[in-house]
Amino acid sequence: MKEERNTKNDFSEMVAKGQVASRGLNSGITVGIAKVILSPEDATRLQRGDILVTTMTTPDYSIAITKVAAIVTDEGGVTCHAAILSREVGIPCIIGTKNATKLVKDGEKLKVDSNEGVIYRRGGHNEENNLQEQ
């Protein structure tokens, strides 16, 4: 008998790994829609509960960051803007992934594990993972 795999909630494909800057106030696992934002002007696209994926943040991102469920950056260390602000507002933050902005697709559903510093997408990534089409 062939076992069918439920891929709807199967976040088994690792997208990126970085350093944990903040675990946030939750269990360390956050799921949300990725928004790849490459400039502060684009931050207006962020909705409450989104996962901000960016190269790095600056003070220009501060208001938008209060909406997001988690932050993932390509660059930064434990004293960077994203790390400090995420600890202040109590949200998970993974920094220094080097290439998350290139690997994550805007609009896909991600799981951020802020215990291990790993970002996952659903296994067998394809267009079904893009929530904007669902």
List, by residue number, the catalytic residues. 81
**Eight-class DSSP state of 130:** B
Whole-Å CA distances, 94 to 30, 50, 53, 74, 105? 12, 14, 10, 9, 17
- Among 37, 18, 36, CA closest to 96: 18
- List the beta bridge partners of residue 14: 120
Under 8 Å between Cβ of 107 and 85 = no
Paired sense of beta strands 29-36 and 109-113, if any: antiparallel
- Token pair, residue 67, equals 């909406």
